[in-house]
Amino acid sequence: MHISEGVLNPPVLLLGGIFTALGTAVGLKYLTPEAIPRAALLTAAAFVASLVHIPLGPSSVHLVLNGLLGLILRWGAFPSFLVCLFLQAILFQFGGLTTLGVNTFNMAFPAVVMAYLARPLLNKGTRGALVAGFLVGSLAVFGAGLLVALELSFTGENFRTAARLILAAHLPVAALEGVICAFICSYLKRIRPEILR
């Protein structure tokens, strides 16, 4: 779901950069010294998961894990994804430096929103954590795909078909991420519930 350089128009790039800067500033306040090792581990997991590409139609897809980062790090997902996507841009040319703000916002914002919306379910025991994990995992990926599709649509009519294909290609990924996040959340709820608080 990385948007490459030279695709988006300058106003979209500027807005993405501004929103990411704000989200990262808030996220850095949430990352206490105790939370930094957890954030580093989750950033590394997202980085590695995104390197495994699965061909699907005219494109390829990969796991994002943004829902999981949102549930555990909340606003800390912004600096986490900023580091992850920066490394991917400079090491593997996924995305780019000019689109770093937009790509970070696309991954982190839906994760943070869904994590806060699903928070009440986490207080309902292991079953609630299972449901919350599935909803956050799947809807955060769907939200990221929707943001990418909207940004491409605002860029020009030439990208509208690509926007629809990208959104459709990530529906199976959203379902898979929902299942993965659900199992991780229910496991954490049993053994380390404080991580989800």
**What's the burial of 35, exposed, middle or buried (CB within 10 Å: 0-12/13-18/19+)?**
middle
Q: What is the CATH number of domain 10-196?
A: 1.10.1760.20
Q: For the residues 15-37, what does the mean pLDDT come to?
A: 93
Axis crossing angle, helix 77-92 with helix 10-30, rounded to the nearest 10: 130
- Band the pLDDT of 58: cuts 50, 70, 90: low
Domain boundaries, the chain: 10-196
Question: What global pTM score does this model have?
Answer: 0.88
CA 134 to chain centre: 14
* Cα distances (Å, whole numbers) of residue 33 to 28, 29, 30, 70, 144: 10, 10, 10, 18, 29
How far, in Å, CA of 83 to CA of 5, rounded? 18
The mean per-residue pLDDT over the stretch 65-89 comes to 93
pLDDT tens digits, one per residue of 165-181: 778 877 888 899 999 99
- As given in the structure block, the two tokens for residue 182 are 């659900």
Whole-number average pLDDT of the chain = 88
Tell me what the mean pLDDT of segment 151-175 comes to.
79
The confidence score (pLDDT) of residue 60 equals 66
Task: DSSP letter for 135, please.
Answer: H
Burial class from Cβ neighbours inside 10 Å (0-12, 13-18, 19+) for residue 132 reads buried
Convert the pLDDT of each residue in 112-135 to its tens digit: 999 999 988 888 888 888 999 999
